[in-house]
Amino acid sequence: MNGIIELQIKEFLLVYLLLIVVAFIMKRCRIDKTKLLIVASMRMTVQLMLAGFILTYIFKNPHPALTLTYLICMTGFAIHRALAGNNEINKNFKIVIALSVSGSGALIVLFFVCGIVGVSFFEPQYVIPIAGMVMGNTMTGVALGVKTFRENIKEQRLRINALINAGAAPENILLPFMKQALETALLPTINSMLGMGIVSLPGMMTGQILSGTLPSTAILYQIAMMISICTAVCLATFASLHFGMKTMYNSKNQIIIP
């Protein structure tokens, strides 16, 4: 199979013309987010360009310290983004989220790289892109789950207070909210799995095929990757909500609603 065709700068810049379509529709629908669209596009470009330079250096000069440093930075940013939309939760809840995201992500990446692929955990060519996919999806799932949990509790504040006054245990009150939030967090990943191969060819598989990998090999990697992502999202979101909700009530069974 032929190797991937390298994009030249002139041809690559044509893709930014597509943003005009998005901006036009947003303006037509009176969605005042054009500035955010431009900032997001430019920020994405700069971040990916920097990541490209850094990864090129790491791949050419592989060293466990460099790989570990990159993974720590990646995990730290994932935790930051997961917490960014949930500032109202208490400090202990935030610590639980940080431990859940980092612990679940590291466990799944370790299992994938060492157990499934069978290479060293510090092999940057494998561990960094795999960790990126796992941590990115975990970050999104946890952020969505915690946001749903928090917003549903605020909407049902009166009902919760009534149940507390009736003598219901805080954990029993919060458990249905946790289950609903976990389901919401998992749905995007599960729906993606349902349509994969028929509706879409996912990014990892597409990238491998473009680089010349046999489709049969790319398929096996993608299946393993999606199951790993689903597990990481489930583990991290469940741990965040299960242990996080325990930080929301005290020894007097009083629930502190954010």
* Number of domains within the chain: 2
Query: 86 lies in a domain?
Result: yes
Is residue 153 scored above 70 in pLDDT? yes
Share of the chain above pLDDT 90, in %: 58
User: Does 173 lie in the same domain as 185?
Assistant: yes
- For 13-17, 88-92, 158-162, which range has the lowest pLDDT when averaged over its residues? 158-162
User: Does 110 lie in the same domain as 235?
Assistant: yes
Q: Model confidence at 66, in pLDDT bands (50, 70, 90)? A: very high
Query: 31 lies in a domain?
Result: yes
pTM of full prediction above 0.75: yes
Among 38, 33, 36, 32, which residue's Cα sits nearest to residue 16? Answer: 38
Is residue 217 scored above 90 in pLDDT? no
Query: 100 lies in a domain?
Result: yes
Q: Which residue, of 14, 41, 61, is where some domain finishes? A: 61
Which residues constitute the domain of residue 11?
Answer: 1-61
Beta partners for residue 196, in sequence order: 200
Query: 147 lies in a domain?
Result: yes
Residue 28 has, within 13 A of its CA and on its CB side, a CA count of 6
Q: SS3 for 249?
A: strand
Is residue 130 scored above 60 in pLDDT? yes
pLDDT average, residue stretch 89-102:
95
User: Does 238 lie in the same domain as 134?
Assistant: yes
Beta partners for residue 255, in sequence order: 249
Joined tokens for residue 247 = 């930080």
Residue 190 has, within 13 A of its CA and on its CB side, a CA count of 7
Is residue 2 scored above 60 in pLDDT? no
User: Does 55 lie in the same domain as 88?
Assistant: no
Is residue 165 scored above 80 in pLDDT? yes
Query: 237 lies in a domain?
Result: yes
User: Does 214 lie in the same domain as 103?
Assistant: yes
Share of the chain above pLDDT 70, in %: 89
User: Does 239 lie in the same domain as 128?
Assistant: yes
Quick one: 226 exposed, middle or buried, by C-beta within 10 A (0-12, 13-18, 19+)?
buried
Q: Which residue, of 61, 84, 103, is where some domain finishes? A: 61
The count of other CB atoms within 10 Å of the CB of residue 96 is 22
User: Does 170 lie in the same domain as 130?
Assistant: yes
Residue 10: the pLDDT is 82
Is residue 177 scored above 80 in pLDDT? yes
Q: Model confidence at 24, in pLDDT bands (50, 70, 90)? A: very high
Q: Which residue, of 10, 28, 61, is where some domain finishes? A: 61
Q: What is the mean pLDDT of the chain?
A: 88
Query: 79 lies in a domain?
Result: yes
The count of other CB atoms within 10 Å of the CB of residue 28 is 8
Query: 254 lies in a domain?
Result: no
Is residue 62 scored above 60 in pLDDT? yes
Query: 256 lies in a domain?
Result: no
Quick one: 44 exposed, middle or buried, by C-beta within 10 A (0-12, 13-18, 19+)?
exposed
User: Does 69 lie in the same domain as 45?
Assistant: no
pLDDT average, residue stretch 20-26:
92
User: Does 229 lie in the same domain as 162?
Assistant: yes
